[in-house]
Amino acid sequence: MEIRNFKIKKWLIPFVIFLGGMGALLAFNEISPDKDLVSVKPDGRLQYKWYPPALPAKMNFGGEKVPLDRWEVRERLDRDILMNYYMHGSLLYILKLSTRYFPIIEERLAANHVPDDFKYLCVAESSLQHLRSSAGAQSFWQFLKSTAKEYDLEVNDEVDERFHVEKATDAACEYLKKAHDRFGSWTAAAASYNCGMGGFSRRADEQGSGNYYDLLLPEETNRYIFRILALKYLISGATQMGYIVKGADAYQPVKTRKITVTESIPNLITFAKDNGTSYKLLKLVNPWLRSNSLTISKGNSYVIDIPLDRQ
């Protein structure tokens, strides 16, 4: 097929820009004669008009109804939907990562009998990245070192299982089930993940209610559930919202083979080469390995993922 070079006529440029802007705006707005999407200024520049995304008619978290009939609940949710919807690059990157990590997180949530909605709590905590907070909380589920050890995650100079997605998800599930047993609500359990079980319990006792939506909590916790709900709304309905990530654009799970090691590895660089990969790729698929060696005590073992290819 022959493809000829061509130049876009100058008079076409505003029209092309108009179509692009209109595509973004129409994620939430149908075309109608009374709704202008763009206007032309006297100097010829285009002025786009941005509209707030529509709120859901109803919503739940972990099977628990969100009281959208209350004005302050609607407005808090509205704020976080609005703020997150227009963070285009951030949301698209999360969507790309979700195809790689959601299957792992969903499987562990189901195995632990924790509602699937908690994968959005993980997104709210870390955007599915191995982040470090100013307080020292680490990775997807943002465990502090002390809390990680409390929930049987190994943390030392060579191993940090906060970076092990499956094990950290299991630890988060253990916390959430404990909080649910204490407060009788998945919503309250999620809020306590932010302010601690003690912090949530103290304020619930002071204010005479265990209902998250009735409590005045620290501002970060006041907003926490609504950020999770906004992310659920936007990610679960991404295509309808105008966010299209599919096919080759979506990040796929990395193909690996698993090796169970029972003896110490003095040099992970050599270990990687001996197993047909590079030190860099070994660390990327095993971020819980925090040093260039791995000491294994008698009777202990670790499962290491070996990447199969670079494709």
Separation between Cα atoms, residue 272 and residue 280, nearest integer Å: 9
Q: With residue 307 as reference, give the H or E element that holds it.
A: strand 302-307
Just give the CATH number of 60-248: 1.10.530.10
Q: Which amino acid makes up residue 214?
A: D
Mean pLDDT per segment of 10 residues, for the chain of length 311 residues? 39 49 51 66 86 93 97 97 94 97 98 98 97 92 95 96 97 98 97 96 96 95 96 95 91 95 97 96 97 95 91 57
- Decide if 228 contacts 120 (C-beta within 8 A): yes
User: What pLDDT was estimated at residue 35?
Assistant: 58
What pLDDT sits at residue 22? 53
CB-based contact 274:296 (threshold 8 Å)? no
pLDDT at 301: 96
Three-state SS for 212?
helix
Residues 151-175 pLDDT 10s: 999 999 999 999 999 999 999 999 9
- Residue 1 has what pLDDT? 34
Q: So what's the pLDDT on residue 4?
A: 35
Q: What is the pLDDT of residue 21?
A: 53
- Whole-prediction pTM: 0.85
State the pLDDT at residue 94: 97
Per DSSP, the three-state class of 128 is coil
Predicted local confidence at residue 51, as pLDDT: 85
- Which amino acid belongs to residue 179? A
pLDDT at 43: 87
User: According to the model, what pLDDT value does residue 36 have?
Assistant: 73
Tell me the pairing of strands 64-65 and 60-61. antiparallel
pLDDT of residue 25: 52
Entry field: residues in the chain:
311
Q: Check residue 7 and give its pLDDT.
A: 43
Which tens digits make up the pLDDT trace of 19-30? 555 555 554 454
Domain ranges of the chain: 10-48, 60-248, 254-307
